[in-house]
Amino acid sequence: MDITQDMFAIFLQDAEQAFSGWNFSYIEDRMFISPFTWSYTTKILYHLRTVNSLLDMGTGGGEYLSSLQPLPQETYATESYDKNYSIAQKRLEPLGVKVIFLQDKNNLPFDDEQFELVINRHEDFSVTEVYRVLKPGALFITQQVGENNNLELNQLLGATEILEIEGWRFSEVLQEVIYAKFSILEHQECKPVTRIFDIGSLIYYLKAVPWQIKDFSPDKYRDQLFAIHQHIQKQGYIDIDSHRHLLIAKKEK
């Protein structure tokens, strides 16, 4: 076995490392995304420090929310993936956060006008439900993955180029937001570059985000993965275009 094939086999084995919560620290210096044209944390931090009630939608394992301490007195988090839910409970409930397992995005288990701020990073949502649970004058701040995110990966692997987020187009989300009587205070879009330094980190990532390539497995795409591995060995990395949106919307009084 030559060194290229030997390295490929080792990276395949390495990608079996367990993934939990929403924590990519295992590959953080092996695959990373270039800076956005905004900072999600900067956009929410002032508002988070000046409210008494907060909802974090799709908290994952609670890693990000816990980093924002001190949190508002009444802070809730939702999570719809059962494994992440238990991790989030252990991490967040000692901080006074109430973690809710969300079964239906169209039925948030909260009162009307309960929250002064709703934040959402990469979680699907119902515009009308978000509007319902916000107090008048309150903000909804969300960062979302765009429909063209990492499509080059699909192309390189010969997989379908249509993501498994059916009907997800941010232009349509914006229209829903306007129709729901939100005022759009800010909308930004950017296409940062994801740089990948080894094939193991790419496999680890694709296993953690199954909506990118719904039938992904290292065995099924072995030949294509090896071709990408060879490219990385020659160039040192491979760059893929990502796609992100930022939206800040206000529920008018």
Confidence of residue 19 (pLDDT cuts 50, 70, 90): confident
- pLDDT greater than 60 at residue 55: yes
**Which of 42-51, 93-102, 146-155, 179-188 is least confident?**
146-155
- Provide the CATH topology of domain 3-251: Rossmann fold (3.40.50)
Mapping DSSP to helix (H, G, I), strand (E, B) and coil, where does residue 19 land?
coil
What's the rounded mean pLDDT across residues 128-146?
96
Q: Encode 51-68: b = buried (16+ Cβ within 10 Å), e = exposed.
A: bebbbbbbbbbbbbbbeb
The reported pTM is 0.87
What's the confidence (pLDDT) of residue 166?
Answer: 52
User: For 82-103, what is the mean pLDDT?
Assistant: 96
Average pLDDT taken over every residue of the chain: 91
Q: What is the pLDDT of residues 155-187, one digit of tens each?
A: 999 987 655 455 567 888 889 999 999 999 999
